[in-house]
Structure 1
Amino acid sequence: MNDLNIHALSQTGIFKGQPLYGTPEETHISWVILSKKMAFKIKKPVKLSFLDFSTLAKRKKYCEIELRLNQRFSAIYLAVLPVRHQKNEWFIGEGNATIVDYAIVMKRMLPSKRMDKLLVKGKVLQEQIIALAKEVADFHTYAKVIHSPFDQDESRRTFNDIENAGTYVKENLGQSFQNIITLAIQWSDHFLATNKLLFAQRIREGFKRDLHGDLHSGNIFLYKKPVIFDCIEFNNDFRQIDVISEIAFLCMDLEAFGYPELSDIFLTAYSDHFPCIITSADQQLLTYYKCMRANIRAKVHAISAGQTIEGKVRDVHLAAARNYLTLIKTYIEK
């Protein structure tokens, strides 16, 4: 699939005998077509340093994995269905036309309920954060415990992968932001080298679990019962993590939006249900994971900016990358 095909599918495609008349949205690794009641997620045929969706077989595989993993905590995930094309006609579902891709079929949620949109409008309430904290803590409590050892080299590679965006950041945001990347990599290397025992201890204590892996406000709908979606399926190491890494992402995200008080409320409410930050070393680990999560978001937005032709969208991604890099600087200077 490509952008032109996605547009054709969204406008003229058929699902269960009815036209989609959908609106396509895009990330750096997928498209989502939003119809009146359903959402259809299709993976881009891309191969990056951290994922490989380059073949039809791989995209089908990861669609099926994504469905299974997300059904652990969300009822909106329904099925994986083929995307078919015949002459000028597009279909989602079974049939005789040629399979050109696969779509994850989901119930559509109200866009106005998505947490990041509510944060922009200043409409996220304290009680919603407390309810979300309980939802996350309950999921973490029963998530599968992972006993595999901490891989320092892999963690170092994950953090330092942002270096690949350094030249683009320098050209579009300036030397000072490339300097933040360099300093953050040095800071991370030092933290990883001096805290091997802490990482190993937390695994022994059962804090490494099979979680969501991408828990930020764009992946949460704030209904009375929060709806969490879109966990990481393409890399087990990104999802099978310390619970502190998971909650650090959401806390960092709230801080990036300018709501440190909501970050504190979430952390306190979560800890009431599932205590996992006990010692000063645990608190330092939280800061490290906040920095790592800001690092990944900065990289994602830099990649998206580089892939975007439309100027206004590109500027939005560059502004986000700038914001996350600025936040990284505050973490490493603590």
Structure 2
Amino acid sequence: MDPTARHLGEILSSLSRPAAYPHPVHDVRVVQTHVSVVFLAGPYAYKVKKPVHFDFLDAHLLERRGEMCRQEVELNRRLSPHLYLGVVSITRGPEGLVVGGGGEAVEFAVQMRRLPEERMMDRLLAARGLTRQMVQQVADALVPFHTSAEAGPAVAAFGTPEAVKTLWDEHFAQVAPFVGKTVSGLQNGYLRAVVEAWAIRKRPLLEARVAGGRIRDGHGDLRTSSVCFIEPLTIFDCLDFSARLRCSDVASDVAFLAMDLRLRMRRDLGEALLGRYVRRSGDGALRRLVPFYTCYRACVRGKVESLRAEEPEISAPEREEAARLARRAFGLACEAASEDLPPVLLAVAGLSGTGKSTLARELGERRGWEVLSSDVVRKSMHGLVVEERASAAVDQGLYTPETTRSTYAALATRAGEALERGRCVVVDATAQAAWERAVLAEAARAHGALFLLAEVRAPDEVIRARLEARTQEPGAVSDAGWEVYLAQKARWEPVTLGEWAHLVIDGDRPVAEVLMQLERELHDRLRPPRMR
């Protein structure tokens, strides 16, 4: 056994003994999280920091854990000065580790008064005893707390668009090991795409929040298990180990508790909390950030529960429950993301003759999305009407590499203009090369939109028949024939987008059936995905 595990094991075994405490204790109950162990002993609770090392927390040194205990007491006394009694040493006695004692400290613990468990918000919620008025009482306590909380330039720096994006980037890196376990690849891709679009679209609002003094040194971990309905109302257990994670927009603080209520199937109480907070604070703009921060806080909850699900020191049933909660949290994150969905740029791509142009046109008409055709843009740039035939020889005439680059640049510009107006866009283009897809994807990214690519495929014999029939169609826009198709096929570069962004459509069926498949694939991508 490694020294860290051995040390934690000794803490657990020693402090589970009633004799380890300097006051009468009948029995000891132990509660674990991924970063701490709480010993409920008589009238007091003792919280010990685990010697863990995560990307977001380094507590492997005793000195650091002692500092964290002192920070926890100081920070939590802002909301609950009656609860936090101080920091005590854990020393080695003749029969094992004890709280207090005269020896050298081998660990530290935060000493708190023990709260009545039946008055905790999560317990009341489970017993159906939590009321709208009680939740509003919490909002009434949070408004003055946030108003008086520190809000200087050092705090405000944690709420800038750049700082918020860093938090999201770190989150996705930390969650990567759990993809396929507690969060699906489709969910992860969906969340990444929405968050990337939000980073652009929310920037002005986030900047306004910083300028308006809405970034505060708040609670940072406001869960239903952090509120106790006694006199006075007790809100405790704030995030003490990182100012960077604790200091945030007040919307993030309030959204955390609203998210937890929603996770426990009481969205109505979460709405009551938000409504009361907005009315009491006068912060109407907070509502515009609720989906954003609900999504973030649900992701954090999913990550924390995923970590807990892999802790060897808790029981198998506890690990299974943590994994279940993690999956629910990530599902809730996707639901929140869908409530403020950015516009979409859908590239309907594929070789000539696959039916992509008909599909793009039909989809645009059905959904009311703006349709941009590479053939139309290419011809209009050269003064040709769309029905006018042009040389379709490979790399010649209107189809030189230079003209193709100009065409995709124009498509990106026109798509960006539509996205800026809040319109969804369908781009009908071959997009055979990775750089062509990248131009369209960048247009979506730059304007805070989601990018999807539907690759339409069909067998050679179907395409040949279609291309031959096209030569007899009056008003056909495309100039491509069989030779062009073969050249495109030889140059086709595999699509390397992730599972969420890449749709594969079978184009060798009647248009109505192909359109139905595309609609179904879009529906599955744009609704909140579930863990399968």
Q: Is 2:304 the partner of 1:300?
A: yes
Structure-1 separation of matches of 2:292 and 2:112: 34
Structure 1 residue matching 2:184: 3-state secondary structure: helix
Within the candidate set 178, 186, 189, 1:168 is matched to 178
* 1:59 matched residue in structure 2: 65
* 1:245 matched residue in structure 2: 252
Query: What CA deviation, in whole Å up to 9, does each residue of 1:292-323 have, x standing for no partner?
Result: 00000000000000114522111111111111
* 2:133 matched residue in structure 1: 127
TM-superposed deviation, 1:224: 4.8
Q: Is 2:209 the partner of 1:202?
A: yes
Quick check: 1:214–1:246 contact (8 Å CA) kept in 2?
yes
Structure-2 separation of matches of 1:97 and 1:17: 18
Q: Is 2:183 the partner of 1:180?
A: no
TM-superposed deviation, 1:50: 0.7
Structure-2 separation of matches of 1:54 and 1:20: 32
Structure-2 separation of matches of 1:168 and 1:310: 20
* 2:316 matched residue in structure 1: 311
Structure-2 separation of matches of 1:36 and 1:23: 10
Structure 2 residue matching 1:39: 3-state secondary structure: strand
Compared with structure 1, are the counterparts of its residues 260 and 325 closer, same or farther at alpha carbon in structure 2 (3 Å cutoff)? same
Task: Supply the AA of the counterpart residue of 2:168.
Answer: F
Alignment of 1:1-334 (within 5 A): 1-16=7-22, 18-19=24-25, 21-74=27-80, 75-93=82-100, 95-147=101-153, 148-149=156-157, 150-160=159-169, 161-170=171-180, 172-173=181-182, 177-278=184-285, 282-308=286-312, 310-334=315-339
Structure-1 separation of matches of 2:20 and 2:47: 15
Quick check: 1:29–1:46 contact (8 Å CA) kept in 2?
yes
Q: Which has the larger radius of gyration?
A: 2
Higher mean Cα deviation, 299-308 or 182-191? Answer: 182-191
| Greater RCO (Cα-Cα under 8 Å, separation 6 or more) | 1
Quick check: 1:145–1:210 contact (8 Å CA) kept in 2?
yes
TM-superposed deviation, 1:135: 1.0
Task: Supply the AA of the counterpart residue of 2:292.
Answer: Y
Structure 2 residue matching 1:2: 3-state secondary structure: helix
Structure-2 separation of matches of 1:325 and 1:17: 43
Quick check: 2:161–2:207 contact (8 Å CA) kept in 1?
no
Quick check: 2:160–2:210 contact (8 Å CA) kept in 1?
no
Question: Structure 1 regions of 5+ residues with no counterpart?
Answer: none
Task: Supply the AA of the counterpart residue of 2:111.
Answer: V
Task: Supply the AA of the counterpart residue of 2:165.
Answer: R
Structure-2 separation of matches of 1:120 and 1:156: 35
Structure-1 separation of matches of 2:96 and 2:205: 57
TM-superposed deviation, 1:158: 2.2
Structure-2 separation of matches of 1:21 and 1:310: 20
Compared with structure 1, are the counterparts of its residues 72 and 12 closer, same or farther at alpha carbon in structure 2 (3 Å cutoff)? same
Question: Structure 2 regions of 5+ residues with no counterpart?
Answer: 1-6, 340-532
Percent of aligned pairs with the same amino acid: 26
Query: What CA deviation, in whole Å up to 9, does each residue of 1:134-178 have, x standing for no partner?
Result: 1111211221223333444442332242443344341x34xx723
Structure-1 separation of matches of 2:34 and 2:214: 31
Quick check: 1:86–1:98 contact (8 Å CA) kept in 2?
no
Structure 1 residue matching 2:45: 3-state secondary structure: strand
Compared with structure 1, are the counterparts of its residues 327 and 321 closer, same or farther at alpha carbon in structure 2 (3 Å cutoff)? same
Structure 1 residue matching 2:310: 3-state secondary structure: helix
Higher mean Cα deviation, 322-331 or 302-311? Answer: 302-311
Compared with structure 1, are the counterparts of its residues 19 and 182 closer, same or farther at alpha carbon in structure 2 (3 Å cutoff)? same
TM-superposed deviation, 1:226: 2.1
Quick check: 1:83–1:91 contact (8 Å CA) kept in 2?
yes
Name the TM-score, length of structure 1 as normaliser. 0.92
Structure-1 separation of matches of 2:177 and 2:69: 33
Compared with structure 1, are the counterparts of its residues 286 and 273 closer, same or farther at alpha carbon in structure 2 (3 Å cutoff)? same
Name the TM-score, length of structure 2 as normaliser. 0.59
Task: Supply the AA of the counterpart residue of 1:214.
Answer: D
Task: Supply the AA of the counterpart residue of 1:96.
Answer: G
Quick check: 2:18–2:41 contact (8 Å CA) kept in 1?
no
